[in-house]
Structure 1
């Protein structure tokens, strides 16, 4: 896969950003370099290697139990949003 001008324009729209012409070439090169690196990683032989979530061994006794806590101050959150109705917050939509 290669990032071409058409795909870059699509990614720009999906990201909701406007790139300058000088930035487009830099971004396109960076994304292509990233894809080349991912291809290298795809070819790494991982046969017999145990999966891990983190390279750090975690003792489960260190972690706390999840506890549900009721949040009482909903009004403070709601008044920080420009638009709300019936305790629902209006946020900008994603336009593709």
Structure 2
């Protein structure tokens, strides 16, 4: 895969940002460099390496228990939010038009 002007154009639209031509070129170069680095990483043989969830060893006693806690200021936060419905905060949706 190569990052080209068409892909940069699509990424600009999806992220809703404006870029100058020089910024587009820099991002295109940076992303292509990143893909080249990933190709190098892809060549590393990891067949004999055991999977791990963290580079730091720790015991499970360090992790806190996942417990539900009541939050006392819930109604105050909902009342201060611009829009709410049925006790939940309402935010604008994300709409992507891929035709353009």
What TM-score do you get using the length of structure 2 for normalisation?
A: 0.84
Q: Distance in 2 between matches of 1:23 and 1:80?
A: 39
Mapped pair 1:11 → 2:18 = no
Which segment drifts farther, 12-21 or 43-52?
Answer: 12-21
Aligned-residue Cα RMSD (Å) equals 1.5
Mapped pair 1:25 → 2:25 = yes
Distance 1:17 1:33, change over 3 A: same
Q: Unaligned 5+ residue runs, structure 2?
A: none
Q: Distance in 2 between matches of 1:17 and 1:93?
A: 18
Q: Unaligned 5+ residue runs, structure 1?
A: none
How many positions carry a matched residue from both structures?
Answer: 96
Runs of 4+ in 1 over 3 A off after TM superposition: none
Tell me the CA shift for residue 43 of structure 1: 1.1
Structure with greater contact order relative to length (CA < 8 Å, sep ≥ 6) = 1
Which residue is equivalent to 2:38?
38
